[in-house]
Structure 1
Amino acid sequence: MKLRKRFISAFLSLCMVISLASVAVSAQEEEEISYATSEYITFSNPDDDNIGEIVEDLYEAKMTVISGLESLQRKIDVRGMGVTRDVVQDFYMSILFDNPQFFYVFTYLKYGYVGDEVLYIYPQYITSNKNPGEDTDEEIAKQNIEIGKMQEAFDRNTQQLLSSVDESMTDEEKLLALHDALVCHVSYSKESTGKYKNSIYTAYGAIVEGTGVCQSYALAYEYLVRLAGIQDIHIVSNTIHSWNMVKLDGNWYHIDATFDDPVSDVNGRVLHKYFLISDKKLSENDSSESHGTWAPNYSAESTKYDSGDYYWLDTESQVIFDGGKIYYVDMSSNTSAGSKMGIITQIDESGKKTQLAKTEDLWSAGTGFYAGNYTRLFKEGDYLYFNNSTTVMRVNVNDCKQEVVYTLPDDIKESNCIYGLKKGDNTIYIGYGKTPTSVMTIVEYKYDFNSGTTPKYEMGDVNHDNILSIADVTAVQSYIAGNSVEIDISLADMDKDSLITIGDCTAIQKIIAGMAA
């Protein structure tokens, strides 16, 4: 018994020595660790063909970091996994760019190292305004809840964008539908319109907030395309520009959604100049050389889609896929005046093209007209909605019957035309301006898509809140002053003279005061 007690006592003493030694080693290690940080990181050398291999060679570290980001760790232990200071930046960036679902992780790198070995990586989460390691436990708990709410919004909007594709479509069609849906959904901006200032660099900015820079477009498209089952890589150039390359029928092609979404943003406008193009075409299109050289350094040698009879090459509006049919605005023909004609076209399952409607309007340019066609398109139910220069129309896809949905007021259309059109919830967003490149004034036209009618609002209720108040008067006054304000012009024209004047404001004020207008 005494021998057993002595053995246990000796064992416990040994454990204490080992434990104390471990603490001492840990404390010594912490004292020896140096730290490095880098904000807005990108690949260190976009010409390096080996960036992808770096990550795969560090597979254990890669999976450890991915697991750490999934569980929102603030300190990820990569000791003994081969991560060194000369590769850590490319290693970390490759993980973030290859996993757009980590939208809540900002491209800020902090790591701890001893000598050349990287021991710890400290992620920067988008919900924190502090540097890694400075948040309290209480702040971290709140941030994690916030990230959970962001994830719900991200998943919800992702499904809405994915609703533009289905399994009956070819990969080519899926790529086009997702490209157009994303471009219609996002406006390029270097300023965040949402709560998180760095979201414009993430897939969250594009998918949830509808704004972002090129990196946001590329990450969002990468995420959507992969969910659709198509191979995609996120490209970063030495000019700090991002876009995508996709693999289709064994060949790589460039897709740059950012360059297909012109600034200033116009509702419903989608270019296809940078959709499924080769290296050669990319160089031809990009006279400013904004794409430079890129990493990973894949090549797009196939010129299959650079030219030819591809319907998307002749349209600047969203291509719509629905019920096995394709709908788009064909701009390959000219009017008698020499401007582009907009032909609302249907392609059926057999490839047959049918003209459903056409726009031969001339978009006014002072004493002349613009050579382009600015018809936009969306579909709801059995109807395609499109615009002429001053009206919004709808055409039934079954019998081709057309109806006028909205007309610009006389005083507006004297010097403005419609250039933008977009569907909302029981709302049609109509963008008009003096030129195609103007910052558009947006009309939120309330519309019941089921009945094809406009909800009834009281005259003067220009903000559609079903309450006639001083807010309506203020909105009309602001409109008269030339400010960019969203009002229902038809409800502001109290005296029906097709002009919005101070007299209309007075009429609304009289109604509010209980006097006869």
Structure 2
Amino acid sequence: MLKRITFLVIVIVLAKPTYDFGLTLYEDAKQYLNENNINIEDATTEVISSVSNTAKDTLIYTAATVKNAELPSTVKTVEELADAFYYYFSNWETDFEITYVGSTTDIENLIESAVDLAADRDHYILGHLSNRKIEYEYGRFDAKIKVHQTYLTNAAQEQIVDEKVASILATASPESMSDFEKVKFVNDYIVKNAVYSEDSTASPHSACAVVAEGKGVCQGYALLALKMLQGLGIETKYVVGEVYTGGHAWNLVKVDGEWYHLDTTWNDPTPDRKNVVRYEYFLMNDTKMKKDHTWIQSDYPRANSKKYAFMAQIDHAYEEDGMIYYSNVNDDNILYRMNIKTGESSRLTDSRAQFIVGFGDWIYFSNYSKGAYLSKIRTDGSDETVLYKEKVENLFVEDGYLYFSTDDGLKKLEL
């Protein structure tokens, strides 16, 4: 007797909202530079790590050797059957066979239960499972189960993920970081180093595409966040639900004993704004998340705390010495500063700011109260000055220079 079961995993895609910015005048900029003797250099042809298109080496993946752990020749219970499935899933095996000895009266449900138990052991594996075909031949007290399982990744890609995640986490100091700081570290890294895109060599739904190529969709963002957060010792879950565009994925994280939602995808602006991190979907509770996300709430722990609700006001953030300098989305994008430990915040100036960076005692930003001109202000809020009367964006600091984009290309200013 032969039966066949086929399971499908739905691939999740998200389209995100866009952002608009203002205009400026070119001739005024030239006149201003002449009058104030500011040396702005052209940097369009420079190869800059922070603003290159993160051109990645072409990734060619081959099958990796399966671990040499032994499996019993036969399994006798649903738990042992789940053990066998988990073994093959965790080794990213595509074709395998399991011999079951026991009553086959309810063999179909037995296999489905074992698969569910195996997948639920590790949400990282669960999120990478794709199409599955199961065929089985059985008598009254035994069954031969043949499985063809596909994944959104493979063993070789996962070796790349492990190596890259280990390298990234090595730059942190988890022993001295709070749970909050660990989650922020992961959110910031993914947002700054990934672009929402389906144009990747690896599956854009995989963690590998996001960490190795800097491209991916919500599923890849959430799976990479899961991997990184677990590496930092943060209890994390992979959440599948829906938003207005359809299927969507994000995370639940436990911070100081409380569960919160974290959506790294929706914290990453589109079109991509280099080095710009949002926190609108950072450590949210169920009430806030339900405004534009839906999920089967009984499948996940409840998130009730409002402790970090203040983070949602932050955009274009720059962090230094325990302070965050940011564009306040709740106050017309005015430049604010916040004590990251206490959550206390105040206006730094009355100017509207975006693309905020810092160097020494100075904060640099695109001043949208003055034509999006390049401006600077001290960290204490004094000495605000316009440096360049032309629209600027995508500010970043590297090797003692402030780089920024203009309609005339990339420019730089020695600091």
Using the size of structure 2 for normalisation, the TM-score is 0.63
Alignment-derived partner of residue 181 in structure 1:
189
Cα deviation 1:43-67 (Å, max 9, x = unaligned): 9xxxxxxxxxxxxx95544544444
Deviation for aligned residue 1:233: 0.6
Question: Aligned match of 1:304 in 289, 302, 307?
Answer: 307
Residue 323 of structure 2 corresponds to residue 326 of structure 1: yes
Q: How far apart in 1 are the matches of 2:364 and 2:285?
A: 34
RMSD (Å), alpha carbons:
4.4
Residue 199 of structure 2 corresponds to residue 206 of structure 1: no
Q: How far apart in 1 are the matches of 2:144 and 2:117?
A: 11
Q: How far apart in 2 are the matches of 1:110 and 1:386?
A: 55
Deviation for aligned residue 1:316: 0.6
Deviation for aligned residue 1:245: 0.9
Q: SS state of the match for residue 240, structure 1? A: strand
Structure 2: gaps spanning 5 or more residues: 13-76, 102-106
Alignment-derived partner of residue 201 in structure 2:
195
Q: How far apart in 2 are the matches of 1:173 and 1:427?
A: 28
Structure 1 contact 165–177 (Cα < 8 Å) conserved: no
Q: How far apart in 2 are the matches of 1:429 and 1:397?
A: 19
Aligned length: 336
Alignment-derived partner of residue 355 in structure 2:
376
The one-letter code matched in structure 1 to 2:294 is H
The change in CA–CA distance for 1:252 and 1:399 in structure 2 (over 3 A counts) is closer
Deviation for aligned residue 1:381: 7.5
Q: How far apart in 2 are the matches of 1:348 and 1:247?
A: 19
The change in CA–CA distance for 1:204 and 1:429 in structure 2 (over 3 A counts) is farther
Alignment-derived partner of residue 87 in structure 1:
113
Structure 1 contact 171–230 (Cα < 8 Å) conserved: yes
Q: Between Structure 1 and Structure 2, which shows a larger proportion of helix residues?
A: 1
The one-letter code matched in structure 1 to 2:326 is V
Q: How far apart in 1 are the matches of 2:399 and 2:2?
A: 55
1:376-415 correspondence runs (5 A)? 376-378=355-357, 385-389=364-368, 390-392=372-374, 407=388, 413=390
Residue 109 of structure 2 corresponds to residue 109 of structure 1: no
Alignment-derived partner of residue 230 in structure 2:
226
Q: SS state of the match for residue 167, structure 1? A: helix
- Give the percent of matched residue pairs that are identical in Structure 1 and Structure 2: 21
Cα deviation 1:456-497 (Å, max 9, x = unaligned): xxxxxxxxxxxxxxxxxxxxxxxxxxxxxxxxxxxxxxxxxx
Structure 2 contact 218–265 (Cα < 8 Å) conserved: yes
Q: How far apart in 2 are the matches of 1:122 and 1:424?
A: 49
The change in CA–CA distance for 1:328 and 1:126 in structure 2 (over 3 A counts) is same
Structure 1 contact 41–89 (Cα < 8 Å) conserved: no
Q: Between Structure 1 and Structure 2, which shows a larger proportion of strand residues?
A: 2
Alignment-derived partner of residue 437 in structure 1:
none
Range 78-87 or range 395-404, more displaced: 395-404
Q: Which has the higher contact order (CA 8 A, sep 6+)?
A: 2
Using the size of structure 1 for normalisation, the TM-score is 0.52
Deviation for aligned residue 1:179: 1.6
Residue 94 of structure 2 corresponds to residue 97 of structure 1: no
The change in CA–CA distance for 1:318 and 1:69 in structure 2 (over 3 A counts) is farther
Residue 116 of structure 2 corresponds to residue 119 of structure 1: no
The one-letter code matched in structure 1 to 2:96 is I
Deviation for aligned residue 1:106: 5.2
Q: How far apart in 2 are the matches of 1:252 and 1:244?
A: 10
Deviation for aligned residue 1:195: 1.8
The one-letter code matched in structure 2 to 1:300 is A
1:56-95 correspondence runs (5 A)? 59-69=79-89, 71-80=91-100, 84-87=110-113, 90-91=116-117, 93-94=119-120
The change in CA–CA distance for 1:314 and 1:118 in structure 2 (over 3 A counts) is farther
1:3-82 correspondence runs (5 A)? 34-41=3-10, 59-69=79-89, 71-80=91-100
The one-letter code matched in structure 2 to 1:68 is Y
Q: How far apart in 2 are the matches of 1:234 and 1:172?
A: 18
Alignment-derived partner of residue 485 in structure 1:
none
The change in CA–CA distance for 1:258 and 1:342 in structure 2 (over 3 A counts) is same
The change in CA–CA distance for 1:249 and 1:211 in structure 2 (over 3 A counts) is same
Deviation for aligned residue 1:256: 1.6
Deviation for aligned residue 1:352: 8.2
Cα deviation 1:117-166 (Å, max 9, x = unaligned): 68243333557xxxxxxxxxxxxxxx86xx26x63465235533663564
The change in CA–CA distance for 1:92 and 1:237 in structure 2 (over 3 A counts) is farther
Q: SS state of the match for residue 253, structure 1? A: strand
The change in CA–CA distance for 1:112 and 1:341 in structure 2 (over 3 A counts) is same
The change in CA–CA distance for 1:97 and 1:443 in structure 2 (over 3 A counts) is farther
The one-letter code matched in structure 1 to 2:325 is Y
Q: How far apart in 2 are the matches of 1:208 and 1:64?
A: 30
1:240-319 correspondence runs (5 A)? 240-283=247-290, 285-286=291-292, 290-294=293-297, 296-306=299-309, 310=310, 312-318=311-317
Cα deviation 1:406-446 (Å, max 9, x = unaligned): 85xx7xx4xxx4454456799977466xxxxxxxx895557
The change in CA–CA distance for 1:122 and 1:228 in structure 2 (over 3 A counts) is same
Deviation for aligned residue 1:232: 0.7
Range 62-71 or range 260-269, more displaced: 62-71
Q: Which has the larger radius of gyration?
A: 1
The one-letter code matched in structure 2 to 1:270 is V
